[in-house]
Every structure is written in C-alpha cells, then in structure tokens.
Amino acid sequence: MSEEVKRVAVIGAGISGLSTLTNLLSLDRKYIPTCFERGSDVGGVWQYNENTHTDEYGMPVFSSIYRDLISNLPKPMMEFPDFPNTDPDNDSSFMHREDVMNYIKRYADHHDLGKFIRTHTYVTNVCPNSEERFPEWTVSYYDVRNKEPQQDVFDAVFVCTGHHHTPYIPDIEGVEEFQGEIIHSKNYRIPERFTNKRAVILGASFSGTDLATGISPYAKQIFLSHIKERLKSVFPENIIEKPGIKRMTRTSVVFLDDTGEEVDVLLFCTGYSYNFPFLSDDVINVNGNKVMPLYKHVVHVNHPNLLFVGILKNVSYFIVINVSSKFAVAVLNGDISLPSETDMQKIVDEYFEKGKERGEKPHTFQTNDQMWEFEQDLSKMAGIQPCPKAFELIRAYLIQECTYNLTTIRDKKFKISDDKESFQVLN
C-alpha cells in the first residue's frame, strides 16, 4: 500500500469504534477516518432507549441496555488506559449505565472524535470493488432521518458493530401456542412491567440472573430455567431454579423434569447471534457462533484491509477492546507482518478444530485463561503493553463470586496495587 493518506471507514461509534478512531488518528494524519453511527450519539449499545422495538425514525432499536443496569466489571476494567475514569463523587467500583455513558462521551470529547462521526447513519452495504487482496470498498448508507441513499469509497474498513444486535431465540416446542407475553432480554427495560406476574426466564448467565434479581421485587414468582449445574448463590425467595424448558402450552411451561408451572411471561436471556447484514455471504460467513474467515478474530484472511474489532464474546470489555483495536490498526499500518493467506486460513481452521475437540462453541472463549491468552497474544504481536495481571485476577475472582454471591457482588470495592500485579477487596 502506498504512503498516501488513506480513507478509512469505521462502522459503529461504540467502544470498539471510538478506540479504533483514536488509534487511527494517532498515526500522524496517515488515515482520514469516517465513522458511521446509527444512533444519535456515541456509545453504541450503551445508548439507552426506552423504546424496545422501533425508534422515532421507524428503525429497529439496536440498544439492549435496560434502565437499572449496573456494569458487571469494576471501574478500572471499564476505562481506556489513556483516559482514567476518575469520579471523586462516586467511589463505587461498579457503574450505573448512565455513568458508563458519561465516561464514553468524555472520552470522545477528550480525543475530539466527534468531527469524524456521522450520527443517525445506517450502513446498508459494504462491498469490495475488486477481487484484489487489498481492494477499495464501497460503503452504502443513508441518514435514518430522511432515508436518502449515499455511497463513499474507502481504502479500508473497520467493522465495530459488536455482537448484541440480533437476539438468539431457541426453538421450543409449543411456543407458538403460548398465550402469554414472550420477550427477549434485548427488549427488556423496566422491572415494573412484571408486577404481580409469574415469569419463566430461560438462561442463567449474567443477563438471566441479573434480570431475575431485578424483577423479583415486583414479580409474583420467577422460574429461572437453565441447563447448568444448580447455582450456589442465594436468591430471593420468589426465584426458583428449574431445569431447561421442554415445551410450552397455552398458559404454562413444562420443564425437562416434566414438572409444569402456570406463567404469564416467557423471557429469553439466551444471548445473541452474529449478524453483519451489510456484508454479503461472499465476504463473511456466519455459522452459529463461527465467523469466517478471520485471523485472530480480527483480520479478514482474504482481504486484510477489512478488520473486525469487538466481536468476541466473554471478554473483559474496554481493556481487551483496546488491545484488539491497537492490533487491528497496527495490521493496517503494516507494523505487523501477517502470515501468508494460506497460513492464516490454516491457523483459523486449527483454532476451530481444537475448540471442537474440547467441546467448546466456536468463537467463544470459555475460560478466563483462554481469554487472557488471546489478549497477551495480540499485545505481543502489536508490540504494546499487555493488560495488567490484576485485571486477569479480578475477572477470575468475579467469575468465582458469581457462583456463590451473585446478589451482593456489586457491593464490593476493589483496590489495585500500584504495580497492577494484584488487587484487594475492601469490603
């Protein structure tokens, strides 16, 4: 690639997009970025919208944030290394979603990113203009306020849209017969809607357990249905653990142990499916949790000027996003020597095959160790400082605490040592 200034498209102005913009702009005017953001502001998924399905412009609501959400990672892990999240008026380690959004806005203002962001802009198509290894890319989009179609051509594209857009809803026998309310956690906003209702929640990861405890003061009864081992945490009395759902009837749920309960609401907390509607199947292939062909889950094997930031699940949010973004920008800038196209594809295939042998879902890090190995690997390749050891230890601690003390975990406060190699729990 020549030394002339390159035009770069960044799709999404959430954590991944803002971090990518910052890293692109740090390279002394080598790149002119344009960031396309569907919402009215920066923040991506952290933009709270009380609407649950369509917004004021008739567009599908992309946010999955609910009114009372509090982060499940402590403040030091919810900030970028170059912009500490200091707030003398709030010493809590876990932030309300408004505090997270305020931090994100301050970060964007600090780096003067607004001039590079087009808000209210929906990207409809990203297409390579040739079959070359480093093609130019045509990005088609429109302003959601007037729907007027437009196009621009770029030298590279960063996909920073995350993975909390398309709800995953499993097939359940008889669900079409159920006469009660059926919703996904993406469309959940306030617990008051569950007042005096009997609800079954399918899924007991972070969203399932968080919504169960948040709804419990209002609901008459909650059945927390999942296929994991029985949770060891103490729940409010009106939350009862049940095995997975076998089928639904008009008014009830039947669990895998053949017990049944009358319910008013079926709430799916079953996560999300990968979806890149602006990329054709010829460019990116999505098969369940498997997104192909991406080297290190970031670099498109066939077109290394198409890069993905922030699509991995089960990562420690800001800190790993920051490393992934720096790695991606370093690849574009030629600071990292990539393997050949054949070798990259071989590495991708071997990764998925090893995961399959371990019984893991492809593209999902199942353990704390695997996630940090990924972060260390990218840091080493990009020649940047890896995340502090204390962050790895904190995440491992939180995973353990979620097993036993789920309802009180956010009451704890964390203090990281000066060398960032260890931490203390202050209460």
pLDDT of residue 1: 44
Measure the CA angle with vertex 315, ends 312 and 316; round to 5°. 145
Q: Are domains 6-165+272-387 and 169-268 of this chain identical in fold? A: yes
Helices 97-110 and 15-25, axial angle in degrees (round to 10): 20
In the numeric block, which tokens belong to residue 416? 């990281």
Look up residue 379 and give its two tokens. Answer: 């840091």
**Torsion sign (Cα): 17, 23, 26, 32:** negative
- Per-domain boundaries in the chain: 6-165+272-387, 169-268, 391-425
The H-or-E segment that residue 201 falls in is strand 198-202
H or E element in which residue 318 lies:
helix 317-332
340: which 2 tokens?
């050949």
pLDDT at 366: 60
Asked whether 159 and 150 are in contact (CB, 8 A), the reply is: no
169-268, CATH topology level: FAD/NAD(P)-binding domain (3.50.50)
Query: CATH number of 6-165+272-387: 3.30.1180.20, 3.40.50.2020, 1.10.3720.10, 3.50.50.60?
Result: 3.50.50.60
Angle at which helices 317-332 and 368-382 cross, to 10°: 30
| Prediction pTM value | 0.94
Return per-residue pLDDT of the chain as tens, 427 residues: 446 899 999 999 999 999 999 999 999 889 999 999 999 999 999 999 999 989 999 998 989 999 999 998 999 889 998 999 877 677 788 999 999 999 999 999 999 999 999 999 999 999 999 999 999 999 999 999 999 999 999 999 999 998 888 999 999 999 999 999 999 999 999 999 999 999 999 999 889 999 999 999 999 999 999 999 898 888 999 999 999 999 999 999 999 999 999 999 999 999 999 999 999 999 999 988 889 999 999 999 999 999 999 988 777 678 889 999 999 999 999 999 999 999 999 999 998 888 777 777 666 666 667 788 889 999 999 999 888 999 989 988 988 888 788 888 898 899 999 999 999 998 7
- Residue 364: its pLDDT value, please? 63
Torsion from C-alpha of 110, 114, 117, 118, nearest 10 degrees: 150
